[in-house]
Copies of this chain bind each other. A is one copy, B any other.
Amino acid sequence: MLSEFDLIARIRARAGTRADVVLGIGDDAALLRVPSGHELAVTSDTLNAGVHFFDDVPPFDLGWKALAVNLSDLAAMGARPAWCTLALSLPAADPAWLDAFVDGFATLAREHEVALVGGDTTRGPLSINVTAHGLVEAGTALRRDGARRGDAVWITGAPGEAAAGLALLRAEREGRPAEATDADGRAHLLVRLQRPLPRIAAGRALRGLASACLDVSDGLLADLGHIAAASGVGAEIDAGALPVPAALAALAPAVRLRHQFTGGDDYELCFTAPADADAAVHAALAPTGVAATRIGRVVAGGGVAVRDPHGHYAASPHAGFDHFRP
């Protein structure tokens, strides 16, 4: 068992730093320098045991994901990540668990040059809150409220794999037969679920090009609905235009489309751009190694409709995740 101070020391040793950190972990607050001409982007997300993850999730993956879901919000704004705080509630201070958790967190932090500058460790049911800070050139941030009628709707990567990974884990835990996949496919889906890649470079590349953008955390239809509501428009998605990743190819279309439309946790970017900007979008994203696919259009009205000539998809188009649904 570790004391609270040993625990903080263990985290502090892996916190990283940057030239713009005047004062990091260890005082009442961190002191940070925001460069002139920039806006500060701030986002905060919590992961709770039994709600956002199974208790036996590998701690490395949990540390990774707790930071990743926040960096993904910064990506969706077109911001460059800079600093974060970590508030960790733990039922007990197990050094091996903590070291693996911090490893996962620090590995992703290093990749994006994020310094951990403060936080809190306390006893309680396992819960992880991260508040992440990014920098974006003033006036260039990607927002939800800029979609215009006639714009195209795009998605990076291929959504649905994280939801398929979650369905697999659930089936295995309940002893139900898993959906069609092999061992390689299973491993791939679990990585997509447990170690999401925040699309930072893609978000940066889309500044000045995307009219609206967000990350898909609640499900593609629900999240696109947020863009529609914020922008005062509607949107249509062509079910047949969605990219079908290899790991989902063997699924029945209705099952696959449910994962792709309503599954959260992919952390791909859904964005809108002028209808004549296809070449510009592809050119901007090419250096980032992240592909995007045009999957629909912005229309007058409100809400999100699915065009599905084969009739595979029949669920409510607004079915996202609501933590408080009875």
Interface residues of A (CB under 8 A from B): 1-5, 7, 22-23, 26-34, 36, 39-46, 48-52, 73-74, 76-77, 79, 83, 85-87, 89-90, 92-93, 117-125, 127, 129, 131-134, 136, 138, 141, 143-145, 213-215, 230, 322-326
A52 to B3 CA separation, bound complex (whole angstroms):
17
- Closest CB pairs A-B (n = 8): A48-B124, A29-B43, A28-B76, A131-B131, A44-B85, A34-B34, A28-B73, A29-B41
**10 A–B contacts from the bound complex (CB under 8 Å):** A3-B324, A4-B325, A7-B324, A27-B230, A28-B76, A30-B41, A32-B41, A34-B34, A48-B124, A127-B127
Given contacts A3-B322, A3-B325, A33-B138, 9 further A-B contacts (CB under 8 A): A29-B73, A29-B74, A30-B41, A33-B40, A42-B118, A44-B87, A48-B122, A48-B125, A121-B324
Q: B127–A31 contact, CB under 8 A?
A: no
A90 to B26, CA, bound (A): 30
Cα–Cα distance between A145 and B28 once the two chains are bound (Å): 11
CB distance from A322 to the nearest CB of B (A): 5
Most buried by B among A39, A77, A83, A136: A39
* Chain B residue contacts of A123, Cβ below 8 A: 48, 51, 323-324
| Copies per assembly | 2
Q: Quick check: A120 and B26 within 8 Å, CB to CB?
A: no
Inter-chain contact B34/A87, CB cutoff 8 Å: no
B118 touches A52 (CB 8 A): no
Provided the pairs A122-B52, A141-B31 are in contact, do residues A4 and B44 lie with their beta carbons within 8 angstroms? no
